A and B are shown apart, each in its own frame.
Chain A
Amino acid sequence: MSQAKISIRGLDTWYGDLQVLRGVDLDIPARSLFTVMGPTGSGKTTLMRTINRLNDMIKGFRASGSVLVDRQDVYAPEVDVPSLRRKVGMVFAATTPLPLSIYDNVAYGPRVKGVPDAQTSEVVEKCLRDALLWDEVGSRLHDPASRLSGGQQQRLSLARVLALEPEIILLDEPASGLDPVSTARLEDLMRRLSKSYTVVLVTHNPLQAARVGQLTAFLFMGKIVEIGPTSKLFTSPQDKRTEDYVLGRFG
């Protein structure tokens, strides 16, 4: 049995008749920064949403194989899905915040869980600090979150997830649509967070994958083509498709 934080074996997923993931095998170690890279449409988002069971929302979605978090199958019938989603936090590609104030966005998770208000305000401040956003918003917590810039909204999404006290953080193309400065900041933040959390980054940009993460998996058309230490994947890839992708020949 794998000691990995997340352990996936033989994962196949379908949306109705369309198969998206084919026999995915993956081990993601605890407290690491793991990147899943691949061209758009290869199934990266599907893979992430299968781990926190967000795909349950979609009619016609089916999965077979095993997805283990802490050696527990997330699709077991006795699993409490809301608890799972607090353990496995997700930052979406779209930076859109909830139509609430900055404070209420971060406080959303704790409030849903039933955390008392006094404790919540401490949690909100801590998470905004951890997400490197406190300095910019500390004085205007009750402003609508929609007024923040894209980069700030993305850090807000991160703060929102941190407020759940997760163990795993999934980031789905978090830097899409962000300027290089915001992107660099976000990548720094991910490196820092990977010391305490298991951070999984999904990206279609091989250059970003090369910058970020200790381990990288190349997902192409629903299949894991190659996994390995990032530097090795980029300097001496085993598979020709990996080589073509990292050299920018396609994708």
Chain B
Amino acid sequence: MMRNPARRSGANIIKDRLGTAVVWSSGILVMGVLLAIISVVLARGLPFISLEFLTQAPQKMGREGGIFPMIVGTFLLALVAVPLATVLGVGAAVYLAEYTVENRLTRLVRSGTEILAGVPSIIFGLFGFVLFVVKLGFGWSVVSGGLTLAFMTLPTIIRTSEESLHAVPRIYREISYALGAGKWQTIRKVVLPTAGQGILTGVMLALGRAVAETAAVIFTAGSSLRLPAGPFDPVRTMAVHFYILAREGISMERAYATAAALIILILVVNSLALVLMRRYRARF
């Protein structure tokens, strides 16, 4: 009697099912944790969000009033940090990917970037404090905070941009050169647009980090409750605000409300990014 070779042994079937179960459980666990965090914060915070809350300034150290200056602060820091990090980061990535050959120096730079990407944000905060706040005399300000966040998110942008550039098929560059284009023309017209989706992902990641960062911001942008009048004025972001509210026991309701507003902002930004990327992809 011939044994059906397609029939798997009992042990293999069990292993297969176990593997599937493990993978599914991990996925469900991760989704579960994410949903739990979001729903707890939204449940406790949404009831206290109102139009007044979002458009008014805080009163009595944040015990009453709204979070308008904090919303502005969050946007301002992102506005300084993200464009700066993007220009520097993409520029560095283009240099590494297109203008150098793979050698010991480029590998060193790449390792350095990877290590920097893993440095705890509080260390960037201290670095920013020493350099921008004290040494350069900017004080606690939008500028100090923005610059610090820029440097903090720079490694991520360099890494994702460089990978995206490397992923551009070689044939595109060859075709471009064969049609009489120079190196910079090729980069501008073919390589960067093709790598655009990956680069955008890196920028979105950086934006997400800039918006949610606390430690690096406290040490560099300060914690003033007032609306900043200029770039050298201190400012408080939403993340810093609800940290302080919660830690000092000032107002748990408003802490949760601020956290809820922040989570909604992050979700909106990420959804926008997804939409942008999908439209981009549809073009090719």
On whether A108 and B284 interact (CB within 8 A), knowing A94-B171, A96-B171, A99-B190, the answer reads no
| A99–B180 CA distance with the chains assembled, in angstroms | 17
Which A residues lie within 8 Å of B172 (CB)? 96, 98-99
B111 at the interface (CB under 8 A from A): no
On whether A85 and B190 interact (CB within 8 A), knowing A92-B171, A92-B174, A144-B283, the answer reads no
Within 8 A of A (CB), among B187-213: 189-190, 193-194
Ordered by A's residue number, 5 sampled pairs between the chains whose C-beta atoms are within 8 Å are: A52-B178, A82-B181, A85-B178, A99-B284, A108-B189
Chain B nearest Cβ from A9, distance in angstroms: 24
Query: Which one of B175, B180, B189 contacts A113 once the chains associate, using CB atoms below 8 Å?
Result: B180
Which A residues lie within 8 Å of B177 (CB)? 54, 57, 85
Number of interface residues of B (CB under 8 A): 21
B185 at the interface (CB under 8 A from A): yes
B interface list, Cβ under 8 A from A: 101, 169, 171-182, 185, 189-190, 193-194, 283-284
Which B residues lie within 8 Å of A108 (CB)? 176, 179, 181, 189
Q: A96-B171, A97-B175, A112-B176 are in contact. List 5 more A-B contacts (CB 8 A).
A: A54-B177, A98-B175, A112-B189, A144-B283, A164-B179
Q: Are B174 and A85 in contact (CB under 8 A)?
A: no
Secondary structure class of chain B's binding surface, majority of residues: helix
A146 at the interface (CB under 8 A from B): yes
A interface list, Cβ under 8 A from B: 52, 54, 57, 59, 82-83, 85-86, 89-90, 92, 94, 96-99, 108-109, 112-113, 144, 146, 160-161, 164
Q: Are A85 and B194 in contact (CB under 8 A)?
A: no
Q: Are A83 and B174 in contact (CB under 8 A)?
A: no
Q: Are A59 and B101 in contact (CB under 8 A)?
A: yes
| A109–B178 CA distance with the chains assembled, in angstroms | 9
Q: Are A112 and B179 in contact (CB under 8 A)?
A: yes
Chain B nearest Cβ from A193, distance in angstroms: 17
For A52, A108, A144, A160, the residue with the greatest tally of chain B CB atoms inside 10 Å of its CB is A108
Query: Which one of B169, B173, B179 contacts A85 once the chains associate, using CB atoms below 8 Å?
Result: B179
Which 8 pairs, one residue from A and one from B, show the smallest C-beta to C-beta distance? A86-B180, A109-B179, A82-B180, A112-B181, A90-B178, A85-B180, A99-B284, A96-B171
